[in-house]
Each structure stands twice: as structure tokens, then as C-alpha cells.
Amino acid sequence: MSNPVPPRQKPEQPWRSEGAPEPAPTPPPKRKLPGGWGGLILTALIVYLIANLVLSFFGDGDEPTISYTEFNKQVDSGNVSKIYSKGDAIQGQLKKEQKDPDGGDKYTKFKTQRPEFADDKLWGDLTKNKVTVTAEPVVQQRSFLSNLLISLAPMLLLVVLWIFIARRMASGMGGAGGMLGRKQPPKPIELEPGKKRTTFEDVAGIDEVEGELNDVVDFLKNPDAYREMGARMPGGVLLAGPPGTGKTLLARAVAGEAGVPFFSASASEFIEMIVGVGASRVRELFAEARKVAPSIIFIDEIDTIGRARGGGSGMGGHDEREQTLNQILTEMDGFSGSEGVIVIAATNRADILDPALTRPGRFDRVVNVSPPDRGGREAILKIHTRTIPLADGVDLAQVARTTPGMTGADLANLANEAALLAVKRKQRVVTQSDLSEALEKVQLGAERPLVMPDEERRRTAYHESGHALLGMLQPGADPVRKITIVPRGRALGVTLSTPDADRYAYTEEYLRGRIIGALGGMAAEHVVYGVITTGAENDLEQVSNIARGMVARWGMSERVGRLSALPNDAQQAYGLAAAPGTLDAIDHEMRRIVDECYESACRQLRDHRPQLDALATALLQNETLEETEAYRVAGITRLTKET
């Protein structure tokens, strides 16, 4: 089994590294506050002055200053309850609220100033009118410290808020999805000795690809020998192939074989909303890789950012995706260079990549990783069952023969499904039966507990018997492996046909046989019941795809000619790659081929009606017929052709 994908060392890094340990912690760089300390001090001073003005306004507004004449008048009238004097300054409080004749406002507490030239008998008047002379001020004033603390409160709140925002911005600059990308300098790292790495021993079924990558491994191990001959290190290797064929595992195996650090990331992890973040992350990733060069950078799904430019993107050449692509192009082959760093990229859509990315000097090699052949599938199954206890007599070669077209990921899933099934059955080992049922689940879908009416069950039996019988009768057709009317997935019944050996090129006769076999279910319903049901929906999709390929892509039509009228997949906008007349010709030829095949299917089923009835009857009794039993019931000799 392959080693698990290494975790990210830091959450803000969009890549993972292998063969390079965690860097030693270093103190974070000093961060400067936005605007500097000068701006903070100036703002605090302004806040302080405004607070003092507000406090003085509210603090002095309740105790009016009255004239000394008015004060004497209130003393004589006996309306003063108490006073406090410090020097010639007098504070006091009235018994009853009075209106200031000068200011017009009503007051109870007051302040006044005794003139120095006054020669009145103030003490006698106070004593006469029983005015209390207090030892504490009547109007309590806040101390200087209290005023200072109150006025500084808004400033302290502003400082705390300022520092909080500054730290958030500084951490945002280092976080994934931050506003400006990581700013701290990359930290040096050293190789980690002794840790088990993924090697070519963990990769199987792709020997021809492994041979091409061995050159890269040898270059990384012996760079001096190549430099003496004037050969330069390849800038990049592009792994192109269907999903699940082991492209990521291959890249890790190259790094493990060469014993160099391995940095891996998905192309989508470089992209953020803010323009420039992706380019910044690319620069930092290459800087990290250069520090421990020779090293390998692996970018998965590079078509996310490597699509051909000028395709009508929203912001032309200035959007985030194109800036990230431009930075990768510059790092791989440009003014900065990347001596000692090899970039390995993987994609499922090599046809849409930008030409500047695939030219020599950048991705020097394009390696096509195809699904494994039969021997490769057997080797892959052995790798994925190393930790699974297998029963005696388990034949992995037989499983490999019945799984054409499966990728390494499919086979790993198959082995895991078999192990899960064995656990569910409380077994201690995985048997051949577990592998067979797991294969049926993967290929056909899980069984559904669906109870069908007898008439519909009978029609389904004839439908599947039509598929199977035509598959047996067509010369060169794929052998029928299994027939079942047990509902699986979305289908009410399934007929499984797989070749004895892997096929890489198909003849027109074989493709017509495939169409006839796919139309067998509909033809059987038409021959037996005289009706057509919706059960042939998936069959018609297969027929349309095969017929369209024969006419428009593979030159198997005299009318359309030997040309590729629809070079792209039919999943794209149908009709944009050909003229209207050509499209009409394609439709006409597709209908002609399908009609001829349907007539042939109906004719063969009428000619072999007893065999069709026998298969349907056996299916109604047993629900499932294996390969040997199906051929015996149909009375047809199966010609084996092992390779």
C-alpha cells in the first residue's frame, strides 16, 4: 500500500513537503503598526484634548458664578444653608432655588468671589442667619488624577483597538486567504534521514512510465555526470492520464527513489480572491525548494491554472489565475531560473494547457500514464492486498483478467470493498467469493431490495436475455460473464461482458457488434411483446456514443469520409466543430448504422427464439446466471482466447 499523503507543516502553506522536517522555530519578524507610532500618538493627543473639552463643558455647567452682591442678598434673606471658603473664593448652597438676576438661570449651588476691598461684617451675618461654614468644598471637584484617567479612557480604548486591528492584519498577511500573502521569509530546512519514503516498489502496472522517470531519478542522483556531458536537468515532467492511474504516486516515488525533498500541492490551493496571492505563494514554494535543491515540486491538477490564456477570461491577463500561471512560467524558465528543482505536474486534460507551459525548457517531457494492462493489474492487486489476509486459493490473476480498463485507484477500491465484505461476514480472511462480489458491486452497483411485479420481472428477463444472446452470437464480441435480473444501482437487471484480453484498437465489425448487443434488450422486448419500454435508456446512450464516434471521429462512414468531423468529445457543445451540412450527414449516417444494427438484432433474435426463451426461463428461476451456466442454457460453445 502507498504511504499516506504527508500533512501540511503549516496551515497557511498551500503545499505539503516530504523528506524535509519541520523547520526550527524562529522568532516572528517585528511587525510595524499601520501608520507608525507617530500617527498613533497624534491621534491619542487629539482624543485627549477633545475629551478634556467635553469633560470641562459638562463639569462646569451645574454651578453658576453669581455676583457678591447677590450672595449678600441671599445671606441677608436667610436663604443660604452652608458655605465653604478658601481665600476669597466662596462656594455655597441655598435653601430654596433662586433665579440669577444676571444670567437668568435658576441655581441651588453657586460660586462667588469676595472683593479684597470689601469691609462688611460677613462672619456676623453668617452667624446671625445660622449659615453653616463647612470644612469641605460644597461643590466637589474631581482630582487631577481622576480627570486624567477619565480623559485617557477613550485614548486607551483607541490604542487597544488599533493594536487588535494591526495584529489581525499582520496575521492575515501570513494566513491562507490573507489579504497580502505570506510576508515572513521562508525558513531553511534540512533533510530528514531514516524516514520511509514511497519508492518504485510501491508502484506497479506502469513499467513503461517508470522507465521514462528513471532518467529523472538518475539525474537527481548523479547530476555531475550529466553536467560533464553538457546536459541540463529537465525543467519539468508532465504526467497526463485519466484519473486514478497513479500520477501522484509516481511523482512521490521519483522523489523517494532519488532521496530528495518532495513538495506537493494542488494548483487550486494557490488561487485566492485577491490578485497576487497565488504568484506570491508560487515564489515562496520555489524559494523553499531551492534551499534544499535538488528537490521536486509536484503540482496536481495543473489545468486549474494552466489553461490556455486569451480564452476570454473576465479580466484579460490581469486576473489571479493568469498571474499565478505567469509566475510558474517565470520560475521554471525565465529570469530567476530554478537550478536543481524539477517540477512534476499532473493533469487529466493535457489538451487544454497553455503552449508556453508545455514547450521544451519548461515541461520537457510529457509522460502519458494509461490504465494498466492485465499483468499490471495483477501486480497492483498484489500491492493493495499486502496488508489484507487472503484465503488459500485466491487467484488474483483471474480477478485481473475480469477487470479490463480499471485503474490503480479502482483496484485499490476493489480490494477495500472485498475486505469490508469479509468483515461484514465475520470472516478472518478474504476469499475469492468476496473479491467476486466486490467486483460485482463496483461494476454493476449495489443490490436493491426491490420487489417487481411478475410481468415486469418477466419482461426484464427477456431484456437481459436479448443482450446476452446477441453477445454470444456476435463473432469477436466480448464474452458474457454474468446475467442477472436482481436490481442493482439504477438498473433492473444487468448483463456483464468483458474481454479476455485488453483491447487497444477496435474494428468496425467489433463496434457494430457492440451496438447490436446494446440494442438486444430493446429488440427482445419488441420481438416478444411488440412494445418498447424506458428500460433501454442507458443502452441507447451507449449506442449513440459508439455510432457518433464511428461516423464523426473514426472515419467509418463513406458519406462523411475519412476525416474527424467532431474532434472533441461529444460532451462539449455538439455542433460547434463542423458545418451544418456535415452535421446533417453525421446524423443521417448515425441513424443508418443504428437502424441496420437494430434490424440485425431483431432478425437474429427471431431466428434464435428458442434460445432466447431458454435464457429468460432460466433467469426467472435462478435470477442470476454465471458465465458457464449462461452458455450452457443458450446451447452455444464459448470460444476462449487467453493471452
What's the grid cell of residue 54? 467635553
Phi, psi of 171, rounded to the nearest 5 degrees: -70, -30
What's the grid cell of residue 556? 467509418
242 assigned binding-site residue:
yes
588 assigned binding-site residue:
no
245 assigned binding-site residue:
yes
**CA within 13 Å, CB half, 551:** 23
360 assigned binding-site residue:
no
User: How far is residue 642 from each of residues 373, 374, 482, 639, measured CA to CA in Å?
Assistant: 14, 11, 18, 10
User: How far is residue 181 from each of residues 24, 170, 264, 327, measured CA to CA in Å?
Assistant: 22, 10, 19, 14
Residue type, 169: M
How many CB atoms sit inside 10 A of residue 78's CB?
13
- Indicate if the alpha-carbon torsion angle 414, 420, 421, 423 is positive or negative: positive
Annotated catalytic residue within 210, 464, 525, 589:
464
534 assigned binding-site residue:
no
Q: How far apart are CA 82 and CA 69, in angstroms?
A: 17
DSSP, residue by residue, 404-433: TT--HHHHHHHHHHHHHHHHHTT-SSB-HH
Q: How far apart are CA 46 and CA 609, in angstroms?
A: 101
Q: Which residues contact 123 (CB under 8 A, 6 or more apart)?
A: none
Size (the chain), residues: 643
247 assigned binding-site residue:
yes
243 assigned binding-site residue:
yes
What's the grid cell of residue 580? 451544418
CA dihedral 421, 426, 427, 433 (to 10 degrees): -40
Instruction: Examine the residue annotation and report whether 301 is marked as an active-site residue of this protein.
Output: no
Q: Is 408 left (phi over 0), alpha (psi -120 to 50) or beta?
A: alpha
What's the grid cell of residue 343? 517540477
- Indicate if the alpha-carbon torsion angle 543, 548, 553, 559 is positive or negative: positive
What's the grid cell of residue 576? 460547434
248 assigned binding-site residue:
yes
246 assigned binding-site residue:
yes
Q: How far apart are CA 209 and CA 368, in angstroms?
A: 7
**Which helix H or strand E contains 606, and what residues bound it?**
helix 580-607
608 assigned binding-site residue:
no
Report, as residue numbers or ranges, the catalytic residues.
464
- Going by the annotation, the residues of the binding site for ATP are 241-248
